[in-house]
Each structure stands twice: as C-alpha cells, then as structure tokens.
Structure 1
C-alpha cells in the first residue's frame, strides 16, 4: 500500500502554499473589483452584492468538501489510504450533482434573488448579468473546492497553489480584454468579467483533476465514483452539514447585514465592498493557519496523538493572533493609499479608513474563530461551532448591526461594532470548548478497520 509522507509535515510547510493559494483566490475577486473600478463604481457595487449571494451558495455545496477534508485527513493519519480514496470520489460525485442543481436555481431565479437583496434598480442590469453567468456555472467552483480539499488533505498543498496562480493569470488577462478592449476587442464590462471568471475556473478544475489522478495513483478507482458506501456518505454528511451550517449561518447573516447597508445607499455598499476586500488580506493569514492546522490535527487524531493535537491548536492560535494584530495595524497605517487604488471618492476613502481602524480590534477575534473552529472540526467536534455560531451571529452580529448601524444611525461604524462583538464572543467560546477536551473521543476513523487495511 502506498504510504503518503504526511507524518513529517510542519505547520509552516503545509500552510505557506495554502496562504498563497487563498491570497490568489482573493486576488481573483479583487482583480474583478479593481479592474471594474476603472469601468464604474456602480459595476463594483452590483458585482459586490451578487458575490455576497454567491458566497452563500458556495458554502451550501462546501459542506461536502469540508466533510471530505476531515475524513480523508483522519483516514490518512490512520494509514487507511484505500478508504481515503473512496471518500474522495464519493465527495466529488455528490458535489457535482448538488451543485448542478444550485447552478440551475441561480440562473433561473437570479432577478428575484437580487430583488430580495433590495439591489438599487440602477445596478440591476449589471448585477443580473453577473449573477446568471457566474451563478449559472457555479458548479465548477464546487468541483474546484472539493478537488482542492482532497489534494490538501493528502498534503499536496503546493499543487492547489500552482493551479490557483494559473487561474489568476488567466482571469486577469481575460478581464483586461473585456474591460479595456485592446486590439479592437469589444468592451463587455460586467458580463465579460463574469465570463472571464467562469472560464478561468473551468481550466483550473481540469488541471486539479489531472494532478489528483497523478498524486493518488492507484487509490482513486473510478468505479467508486458513484458507488456510495452508506458509512462514508453518513460520515461526510455528519461532518459536512454542521461545518457548512456554521459558514452558511455566517454568510446568511452577512446577506442580512448587506441588506441593511443597501438601505444606506450605493456609496455605503461600495465602501463596504472596498473595505472588506482590503480586510481579506488581513484575515487570510488566519484562514491559512486554520486550514493547515485542520490538516495536521486530522492526521494526529487519526494516528491517536491526542496531546499533540491539543498543543498544536493552541500554538497555531497564538501565531494567528499575533500576525492578525500586526498586519491589521500596518494596513491601517496605509489605509488611504490602499483605498485610493480602488476609488478617488473622498467620502468612501474617509469612511473606509475609519472601518480599517476598527478592524484592528476585529481581526484577533476572527483569528480565534478561524483556528479553533478548524481544530474542533478536524477532531470531529462539528456541532458545537454551529450551535454557538447561529446564536451569536444572529443574536449579536445582526442585532447589533441593525441597532447601532440603522436604529442609532451610526451607519457602517455601527455595522462594524456588530462584527467585532460577534467575532470575539464566538472566539472565546470556541477556545473554552477546546480546552474542555470534549472532542477527544469524536474521531470518525474505525480503528479495527484501519488495522485490517494496514
């Protein structure tokens, strides 16, 4: 049986490619925003609201990828490579079917969905065009997420990084042609950017599939693609649905908050989009550390190394908090030039700078969540983050955002107060849960079966 060399992986070795990959994914979204900002601020706002909806949909089919990541990591740690291969193929086929269904819904009901978001009518045409093209082909992103999660769980984080680099290059080149129209190429605006995004994703998916076949030679048997084993499907759903539920609740709450922001006008929507695009470069460190920690802890749990897993999570948390504070502070010091890249609107720059100052308080709390929730999930404790997430996101983040932002009239500052309170409260509760060690006996690996396969 082929033995994957994952036991000697360090957090740095497994995390830096994840960091680059996530940064490039964010750059792909920011490239759309930045290049569209040269086209019109209205186009930016329309795409921003559409992407808020699409992010919720991505989480909905992300539940399979989340479940696969944990199951595969634990099985590899237990040296159950054939089982890991079966789980990988089952997760791919499940997500294909489910995401095709969601793509159809987004294409057919794009306009009613945007109307529910109270999108201003002057933004509707561009928002609808983007939603139908990117949303209608969103199943490709589902397959990218699943394939990428499988490769990362096997420890091949550099592969997904390289593919993401290629996707970004293709996306930027495509955007350049459809926005600026060189060599007589027609200027297609938002629709062109949507096509560029969809095409680059499709090419990236093909590359990931080829790499997956190469890296797992002999362990992925195509006959298992639609041959579901009840225990694997149950485990995927048991991990994935609660894991996605936490993210789905977060993104749904963000949609409601975006609805509040839409009531403040197009300037407020655009400010939120630009500011959060910049904030992504702060918390991507915590996302990368969280994902790397999840892979390592999954391997440790599968191998029965409980104390190593416990210590690994706390070390990762300390690193993430320190980096978040440092980067948030640096970003604030150069806030005006950063915002000036996107717009020359003085109101947007002034408001965005204030929000980036508040982000210094927000990001350490987010680091708690991203690292500790990933650690709990890797250990099999997937329900607790969902329960707490639903209660706090809606009871604190949404409620505070409405109370301070709309009722008291503080606008975006009030919205950010809600964000800060939400992240810190959830983060402290997740850390407490980890230290209670409720997760110790929640592994999904069948030890008896592991010994037989080994």
Structure 2
C-alpha cells in the first residue's frame, strides 16, 4: 500500500513527461542520424563533429539551463491562476534568452582559436572550424525556442514543443542527406552540410512552436501583444536569480562531458570518435530522464503555488521512483548490446578504414558498460534537480553540482584517462563518480527542504 501511493502517479507523470521525452529524443535522434551519416565519411570527420559540438554543448548548456527559470515561475503562476504574473515571467524570460543567445553566438566565434591550443589532431581541427561557424549561428534560434518551450512546459502544454521539434527534425534529416552526400543535384558539402541542416531546422522549430501556441486558447494571450522592451526590474532580477544558477548547474555537468571529449582527443582521433558514439547513445537515454525532470519541475511548482507540501513530496518521490525503474531497464539494455550498438555508427565493411573502425567499436563497447552503470545516477540526479527547480531552490544545488563534477569527477577522469592504462574507460569512471555524488547530495537536499516545508505548515506526520 505504501508503494501504491507513489506508483498511482506513474501514469499521469508519464503522460506529462512523454511529449518532453519525445521532443528531446527527437533532438538527440537527429544527432544520432548526423553521427551515422558523418561516420560514413570517416573517423576524422566524426571526431571533427564531436570537437565542434563540444563548444556548442557548453554554450547550449548555459542557454538551456538559464531558460529553465521560466518553467517554475509560469507553473507557480498557473497554480495560482495569476495570468499577469505568468505572462510577465514569459516576456522577461524571452527577452533575456534572446540576449543570451546572441552573446553565446559571439562567444563561440571568439573561442574558435582555442581548438589549436588544445592538443587536438590537426586534421580534426581543420574540419571542425567551418562546421562550427554555421552551427554557432543556430544558437540564437535554439535558445529563443527554449524560452517558448519552457513557458509551454510551465503551462503543462508539453505536446506543442514536441510537435515543433519533430517537424524540425524531419527537415534536418532530409537536408543532411541532401547536403552531406550531394544527392539529387545538391552540392556535396560533407560535415558543413550537416551544419546547414542544423541551422535551418532550428529556425523552423521556433516558427512552428510560436504558431502552435498562437492558436491555442490557453496560451494565445501569453504569446501575443508582447511588449518585449517594456521591462520591470523586479521580474528581470527574479529570472536572473533563478536562471544564472540553473545555467551553471547544467554547465558544470555538460562541461565535464565536454572535458571528456577533449581528453579523448589527446588520446587520439579513434578514442575521440569512440567517446562520441558512447556519449550519443547515453544522451538518447538521458533525454527520458530530462522529460521526467520537467514533469518534476512543473508538478512541484504547481503544488508550491497551491501550498500543498505533503502532496508535493509524494508527487516528487513518485517521479524519482519511476526514473529509477526506467534507468535500470536502460542500464541492462546497454550491458546486453554493448558490442552491437557502436556498429550502427561506422561502416564495418569499409576495407580501407577497417583497422580504425574496429578500434573505435572496441573502445565504444567498453564505454557503454560504464555508461550502463551511470544511467541510474544520471537519471536520479536530473529528476531531483527538476524538483529542486520547482521549489525555486537553485543556489545550493549549484554548489553541489560543482563539487560533484569538478572536485570529485574531473580529477578522476583526468588522472585515469591520461596517466593510467584505463585511458578512455578511466575518463568515464570519473564521469560515473561525479554523477553518483551529485545524485546522492541533491536527493538529500530535496528531502531536507521538502520535509521542512511540511513541518512549517504544521503537518508533522510524514
């Protein structure tokens, strides 16, 4: 009976989270298609996309992390039935996200020369720079889309960002096929073609989401007649106070995975390509946990607005439990198919590159066993982080994520990757350590805060 109070929420949690999962899986699936298509060109091209995207991941983590400040504010306003507060949170969030997107784009352009200072293979850097030029521009529409998406999630309208993402992904895959390989009379652009596909699809994504929200009764009044430059200092400050730490939380996690890409590059182009394959597969399953994290953020935010703190705890723990069950299934899948999955990315019949491809597949298969173990830690930590954002608790979780990834995880990755025989596997053992510490500390933080909220309301029975 005790378990049933949590499992009875599974159905609603999945229905709320499923569109977010599918939308995010759509993003990652396009990354998988990109990698498979680029992998047909060779391991150097695959490593170049990995290196170029490592810069993008850092910028995206800041933009996407910052945009998550919009969701709990809109969810809380929705719980209170306060339209003016919800629209203000969206408008100010949209302004700040657009500004941040432009700043990050310019930052990427200035950061490009760092590639030559990072001891990466020269052939990989020369392929990565023209790819990054175009992909960097797509940061602006991507982060604007995130503002609309987080607002939509805050209203529990999680389906519409999914629809926009799926349309954009279809466009991306088609353009990639035409432009990477030069099909049907289109120019053969190699990995630059993949960058063009990414840019066009992200522009389409913003337009379609705005159209969907514009014609829905619940959201129409929010997304029309926006006086974007009429701003209030108190709401700007509130979003910055929530958004900046949230951006840092995502940055600290993404940055350690990016560091793994760079350390792998020091080991050579084959370890870097193998790292990219394992990372792409792990990202696919991580998107499911991200969907549940959004569900936790929205539902905890709603209950906070309603001041129903016992319900808040019960709903949050039901999401944590559901995440645990799903991640165990993914972990078993990675262990059982660790030898097969990397073969999707490379042409195993390519005689000329047979030795390189075989080495990449062998390294990636070992990494997937470690990835199987950190599925559980990664899923739990992001679900709990969503619940904490729903409580609008961001400062202490930021310190926790920094400690877990950069005081615990990174030194292990760096030492074991470069100074022991474990090499690529050592890098990922460090990732596993960081994620596990993060999951435990964030869980303790949520349990402590939510218990205090119940006690303060005078409801002692927990």
TM-score where L is the length of structure 2: 0.90
Q: Cα offset for 1:99? A: 1.4
The residue number in structure 2 matching 1:451 is none
Alignment check: 8 A CA contact 2:338 2:368 kept: yes
> Any conservation in 2 of the 1:332–1:353 contact (CA below 8 Å)?
no
Which string of whole-angstrom CA distances, capped at 9 and with x for unpartnered residues, describes residues 348-373 of structure 1?
22221111112222111112211111
Residues 1:410 and 2:442 aligned together: no
Which of these residues, 102, 115, 134, is aligned with residue 100 of structure 1?
Answer: 102
For the residues of structure 1 that align with 2:65 and 2:284, how far apart are their CA atoms? 24
The structure 2 residue matched to 1:242, chosen from 220, 241, 245, is 245
Match of 2:70 in 1: 68
Q: Which runs of 5+ in 1 are unaligned?
A: 1-8, 443-454
SS at 1:380 equivalent: coil
Tell me how far apart the structure 1 counterparts of residues 222 and 134 of structure 2 sit (CA, whole Å). Answer: 36
How far 1:269 moved relative to its partner? 0.3
Contact 1:39–1:179 at 8 Å: present in 2 too?
A: no
Whether the 8 Å CA contact 1:381–1:439 is kept in 2: the answer is no
Deviations 1:288-334 (A, max 9, x none): 11111111111111111111111111111111111111122113212
Per-residue CA distance 1:120-158 (angstroms, 9 max, x = gap): 210122200111111133111111111111111111111
Question: Aligned runs of 1:108-119 on 2, under 5 Å?
Answer: 109-119=110-120
1:183-214, Cα deviation, whole Å (9 max, x unpaired):
23221111111011100110111111122222
Q: Check whether the contact 2:330–2:375 (CA below 8 A) recurs between aligned residues.
A: no
- In structure 2, the residue matched to 1:54 is 56
Alignment correspondent of 1:188: 189
Match of 2:290 in 1: 287
* Distance across 2 between alignment mates of 1:377 and 1:226: 27
2-side partners of 1:205 and 1:117: how far apart?
Answer: 34
Alignment pair present for 1:270 and 2:256: no
Distance 1:133 1:217 in 2: 33
Q: How does 1:90-239 map to 2 (within 5 A)?
A: 90-107=92-109, 109-215=110-216, 216-220=219-223, 222-239=225-242
Q: Aligned pair in 2 of structure 1 residues 441, 238: CA closer, same or farther (>3 Å)? A: farther
1:366 aligned to which of 378, 395, 417: 378
Structure 2: distance between partners of 1:74 and 1:371: 18
Is the CA contact 1:134–1:194 (under 8 Å) kept in the aligned structure 2? yes
Question: Does the CA-based 8 Å contact 1:42-1:123 persist in structure 2?
Answer: yes
1:182 match: secondary structure:
coil
Counterpart contact for 1:376–1:439, Cα < 8 Å: no
Q: Distance in 1 between matches of 2:222 and 2:43?
A: 49
Equivalences for residues 358-397 of structure 1 within 5 A? 358-397=370-409
Contact 2:23 2:161 in 1 (8 A): yes
Matched residues in 2 for 1:87 and 1:253: separation?
A: 31
Structure 2 gap segments, 5+ residues each: 1-10, 349-356, 455-462
Distance 2:248 2:450 in 1: 20
TM score, norm. by length of structure 1:
0.91
CA contact (8 A) 1:242 1:383 kept: yes
Counterparts of 2:105 and 2:451, CA distance in 1: 36
Tell me how far apart the structure 2 counterparts of residues 39 and 257 of structure 1 sit (CA, whole Å): 23
Aligned length: 433
